[in-house]
């Protein structure tokens, strides 16, 4: 079977972000599961706040095109989504929105989200583990963008105490859940890619 290419990103740029740590751990698990992994930071793709007038007058930002091409070059995407006010971070939502607008060479709308598998994880210092962000992100990807989002996901509560000094999970249940998400993402990415 071909080795699937999996893109990994975090919806946070904050120094010490729990979700960036989760993304790093997901990238490690994906590599151990023999996926071809690319981990990116949304900080490398700075984008203005989405505005249809800006798009109409200035065109598509180069970073939106590059980010869309990153999505398109992979059969699977793992997103670690922080929770802000019971939803997705503005950084992540803005990136998703810009990518949804890019169309190259007469391709259909939302091409970056079609024919690839998405997996979600969240880490939060609170007791809900980013669960509301996971629900909001799933809604945006599935309903808004028509993406395939696997049902398996990871919600890490009390994230301030979830990682050890090597940035591994202290709780084996989280480690096993991540392995399960990774395994399923690879499986579905092979089928749809």
Give me the domains of the chain, ranges plus CATH numbers: 5-192 (3.40.50.360)
Rounded Cα gap, residues 58 and 130, in angstroms: 35
pLDDT above 90 (res 1): no
Query: 2 or 191: whose pLDDT is higher?
Result: 191
Give percent above pLDDT 70 in the chain. Answer: 99
Its pTM stands at 0.97
The pLDDT tens digits of the residues spanning 92-127 come to 999 999 999 999 989 999 999 999 999 999 999 999
Q: Counting Cβ atoms within 10 Å, is residue 184 exposed (0-12), middle (13-18) or buried (19+)?
A: middle
Q: What does the pLDDT average to over 12-27?
A: 97
pLDDT above 90 (res 65): yes
Task: Tell me the Cα Rg of the chain.
Answer: 16
The pLDDT tens digits of the residues spanning 135-160 come to 999 999 999 999 999 999 999 999 99
């Amino acid at each position: 079977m071909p080795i699937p290419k999996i893109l990994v990103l975090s919806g946070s740029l904050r120094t010490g972000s729990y979700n960036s740590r989760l993304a790093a751990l997901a990238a490690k698990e994906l590599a151990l599961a023999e996926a071809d992994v690319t981990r990116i930071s949304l900080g490398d793709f700075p984008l203005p706040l989405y505005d249809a007038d800006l798009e109409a007058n200035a065109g598509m930002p180069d970073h939106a095109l590059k980010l869309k091409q990153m999505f398109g070059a992979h059969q699977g995407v793992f997103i670690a989504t922080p929770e802000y006010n019971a939803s997705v971070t503005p950084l992540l939502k803005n990136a998703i929105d810009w990518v949804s607008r890019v169309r190259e060479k007469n391709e259909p709308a939302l091409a970056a989200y079609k024919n690839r598998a998405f997996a979600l994880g969240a880490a939060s210092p609170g007791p809900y583990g980013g669960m509301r962000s996971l629900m909001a992100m799933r809604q945006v990807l599935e309903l808004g963008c028509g993406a395939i989002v696997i049902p398996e996901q990871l919600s890490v509560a009390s994230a301030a105490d979830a990682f050890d000094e090597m940035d591994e999970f202290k709780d084996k249940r989280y480690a096993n859940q991540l392995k399960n998400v990774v395994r399923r993402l690879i499986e579905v990415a092979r089928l749809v890619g």
